[in-house]
Copies of this chain bind each other. A is one copy, B any other.
Amino acid sequence: MFKEMTVQTEVRTQLVLIDSEVRGAIQESGIEEGLCVLWVPHTTAALTINENADPDVVRDILHETGKIIPFEDGYHHMEGNSAAHIKSSLFGPSLTLIICGGRPVLGTWQSIYFCEFDGPRRRRLLMKVLEG
């Protein structure tokens, strides 16, 4: 099953929780055992897995990576979003989830996040669910 969904982001950098969208699409596919590949078709966004219990974890991830890769740092790219391109490559555009019993296998504290690094924008998220 191949599926496309949209994610509306609200600010310049943001981690948007997409657990329920991913779980829903896997359930919809009817596939019990296999893989789910998530793909962000953008070069200033990414996907990641991290904690959802304390919102300060997400705050610290965004704040610290913003210190490591500043918005302004003598970049040559004229659009002003080089930091977002660099973060996109470091976080990565894709995740491959294991499906077991019709659900993605995640740890107790793991949630799936769409990473916006150059928002706010209306973004696309692609999913492939594969049996096996």
Contacts and interface: CB of A to CB of B under 8 A. Distances in A.
Interface of A: 2, 33-35, 37, 39-43, 48-51, 54, 56-57, 59-61, 63-65, 67-69, 73, 75-79, 82-83, 85-86, 88-98, 100, 105-110, 124, 126, 128, 130-132
B130 A34 contact: yes
A49 B124 CA distance: 16
Given A64-B82, A76-B59, A50 B88 contact: yes
Given A43-B50, A43-B110, A89-B48, A2 B33 contact: yes
A83 B100 CA distance: 30
A61 B85 contact: yes
Contacts of A48: 89, 92
A-B CB proximity, top 8 nearest: A41-B107, A56-B76, A130-B132, A60-B82, A56-B77, A98-B128, A43-B51, A48-B89
11 contacts: A39-B105, A41-B110, A43-B57, A49-B93, A59-B76, A61-B82, A61-B89, A89-B91, A90-B91, A93-B110, A130-B132
A64 B54 contact: no
Contact of A64 (B39, B49, B69): B69
